[in-house]
């Protein structure tokens, strides 16, 4: 009886080994896909943040330029006496 048990356990492990390997392989593949997805989402978030900062800087620059232009023309009209 003891010899039979000792032979069944290794045989069972040998039979089940491909299933364990397949499970590990699919787990590793899923992990790889999750890492790629997380990296992609991080990249998109960084790009969106950079675009938002750029758009804000552009708007601020245009506002400053517009205000400066109006101030210049107001000063010019005051100096020349034009109304």
Q: Which residues does 83 contact at the CB level (< 8 Å), separation at least 6?
A: 77
For residues 71 and 36, what is the distance between their CA atoms, to the nearest angstrom?
52
Global pTM value: 0.54
10-29, pLDDT tens digit by residue?
776 676 677 666 667 777 88
Report whether 54 contacts 60 (CB < 8 A).
no
For the chain, what is the radius of gyration of the CA atoms? Answer: 35
For the stretch 24-39, pLDDT in tens is 777 788 889 999 999 9
Higher pLDDT, 5 or 32: 32
Q: How far is CA 34 from CA 45, 50, 71, 75, in A?
A: 16, 24, 55, 61
């Amino acid at each position: 009886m003891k010899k039979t048990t000792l032979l069944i356990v290794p045989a069972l492990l040998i039979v089940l080994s491909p299933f364990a390997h397949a499970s590990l392989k699919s787990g590793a593949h899923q992990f790889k896909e999750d890492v790629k997805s997380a990296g992609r989402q991080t990249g998109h978030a960084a790009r969106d943040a950079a675009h938002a900062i750029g758009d804000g800087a552009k708007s601020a620059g245009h506002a400053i330029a517009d205000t400066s232009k109006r101030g210049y023309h107001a000063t010019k009209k005051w100096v020349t006496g034009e109304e």
